[in-house]
Amino acid sequence: MDNNQKIESIYKSISLVLMKFLSETYGALFIAQSNNKNGFYLDFDSEERISEKDLESIEEKIKSIIKEKDISIDINAFKLLNISGVYLEDNDKNKMVQRIYVVVFQTENELMEYNRLIQEAEKRDHRKLGRELDLFHIDDVVGSGLPLWHPKGAILWRVIEDFWYKEHLKNGYQLVRTPHIGNKKLWETSGHWGFYNESMYPPIEVGQTLKENQNKEKTKESEQFLLKPMNCPFHIQIFKNRPHSYRELPLRWAECGTVYRYEKKGELSGLTRVRGFTQDDAHIICTPDQVENELKKVVDFILFIYKSFGFEIESINVYLSVRDKESKKYAGNDEGWDFTEKILEKVALDKKLNITKDVGGAVFYGPKLDFKIKDAIGREWQCSTLQFDFNLPERFDMTFINDKGQEERPYMLHRALFGSFERFIGVLIEHYAGALPAWLSPVQVKIIPVAERHIEYCQKLSDEFIQEEIRVELDLSGETVGNRIRKVSQEKIPYVLVIGDKEIESNKLNVRDRGSLNIREVNKEDFMFEIKGLSVGK
Ligand SMILES: [Zn+2]
């Protein structure tokens, strides 16, 4: 028996004992069982609802049964993780049944390690930290899947965005800006209307006012607009606004563009599954000769970005998503697909990326490379994507004038480095457990006056910091110094300055660095210089 078979037989033994117990005790009827990497889940139907509270005693009972019956399983290596209600066949029109998740390992140590990771993940949960650090919230009154950014979250976003713009300009990109909605005709031409309709919202009628609509008046002129799920068609229309010579190519046009995609309410989660999000998008329009080099440049840019934010580039896994030849959900011909898939694979191999092929994962207009980064506790997150498109240039009849004076079709690359700001910020919060590097921290320095007589000096000091573009916060709460210092540690602010008589007389600062018990004395100018010099990766 190989290892997989061994694990499956352990799963089977546990699920048999569990199911028998549930049916004898609760009259439960078996519906389905599905195995996954760390165990399995069991779906069943019973009159009596089992709650989270019952799990512990059920677990004890089945462990004693396994012991009694002398089944050779380490009873310390599995655990009933949780119970929830699920709809049959995942359809909310069907009946709701119950699902128990069971985690199973071969040794007790593996289960302990798994529990440790779960606890670590809970501590790092960006939804929890987002609240505690006052970065963002999602408001039922506004709508699910639509995050609201508080001042500290918005400044974090702005710092990232400023860095993003600067690096894009250095890498030969230009900026463009486009609206949030566009005419239905545009989306018909792009193919989104037919190929992407499961991720889009229905049209908005723009030929009449809301009031006319409320009064059920006839539409004056029927014109329908759609919320954009992607930015590409807008960038294409900018390209088509005038003729282009081969001498202008490649064109690299970037935009932090907010897009809207349909997600089921039940699948929304924090910043990582939302309905409206801002892509750090760009489209590269180039000649066939330039395409390989442009793809490679994007790969380098992606790796540079990950490194800058403190991720290990050696552990990045890349998924090469190609079409499923049997499926009809792709636009364009086989020739184009074969060609673009081959070049993308060559680029990935040349750049020595760690690639896995994902058949059927391509976008409707072309194949892509998806980059997954590993965070501090080893979880994978998908962020960057690089897509090779030969379809939209065709659909929009994009052309440039080549060196022979003839019209020729360009290629188009779609790419996002963070994926979206929302998702990337969520990943950063979890990766750093909220203790962001000082260059990213919404508040870099906290100033605490010891007594009231020190406030004026602190206010002046704070103004000086602000003038130097250092993000500073003054704590005038009047609580004890000890309490205020503890609060700073909860807020995960990198530097604290406590200012009393001694500091004012000596004109020196006593700096407490985050995570360190030591206090270091520095000149004000040196400290400002240190913070202003903070850059990426520090
Ligand atoms: Zn695009």
Question: Which of 134, 125, 180 is CA-nearest to residue 156?
Answer: 134
Distances (CA, A) of 292 to 313, 383, 476: 22, 22, 57
The rounded distance, in Å, linking the Cα atoms of 271 and 277 is 9
CATH annotation of 156-180+228-431 = 3.30.930.10
For residue 5, what is the enclosing H or E element?
A: helix 3-26
Q: Ligand 1 mean position to 396 CA, how many Å?
A: 13
Asked whether the whole model's pTM tops 0.85, one would answer yes
What pLDDT score does 415 carry? 97
Active site residues: 232, 261, 279, 281, 283, 368, 414
- Tokens at residue 266, please? 């039940």
The rounded distance, in Å, linking the Cα atoms of 351 and 320 is 13
DSSP SS3 for 449: strand
What pLDDT score does 535 carry? 66
What pLDDT score does 299 carry? 96
Burial of 339 (0-12, 13-18, 19+ CB in 10 A): middle
Q: Ligand 1 mean position to 169 CA, how many Å?
A: 19
DSSP SS3 for 82: strand
What pLDDT score does 538 carry? 47
Q: Ligand 1 mean position to 397 CA, how many Å?
A: 16
Per-residue pLDDT of the chain (538 residues; tens, 9 = 90+): 678 888 888 999 999 999 999 999 999 999 999 998 889 999 999 988 899 999 999 999 999 999 999 888 888 899 999 999 999 887 888 999 999 999 998 889 999 999 898 999 999 999 999 999 999 999 989 999 999 999 999 999 999 999 999 999 999 999 999 999 999 999 999 999 999 999 999 999 888 889 998 999 888 788 899 999 999 999 999 999 999 999 999 999 999 999 999 998 888 889 999 999 999 999 999 999 999 999 999 999 999 999 999 999 999 999 999 999 888 888 888 888 999 999 999 999 999 999 999 999 888 888 999 999 999 888 999 999 999 988 899 999 999 999 999 999 999 999 999 999 999 999 999 999 999 999 999 999 999 999 999 999 999 999 999 999 999 999 999 899 999 999 999 999 999 999 999 999 998 999 999 988 899 999 999 999 999 887 665 4
The rounded distance, in Å, linking the Cα atoms of 113 and 108 is 9
Q: Ligand 1 mean position to 108 CA, how many Å?
A: 48
pLDDT digits (tens, 9 = 90+) for 456-487: 999 999 999 999 999 999 999 989 999 999 99
Domain ranges of the chain: 3-124, 156-180+228-431, 445-532
What pLDDT score does 39 carry? 92
- Check if 3-124 and 156-180+228-431 are the same fold: no
Q: Ligand 1 mean position to 529 CA, how many Å?
A: 41
What pLDDT score does 327 carry? 84
DSSP SS3 for 402: coil
Fold of 3-124: Threonyl-tRNA Synthetase; Chain A, domain 2 (3.30.980)
- How many Cβ atoms from other residues are within 10 Å of residue 337's Cβ? 20
Domain 445-532 has CATH 3.40.50.800: yes
- Tokens at residue 533, please? 């010099």
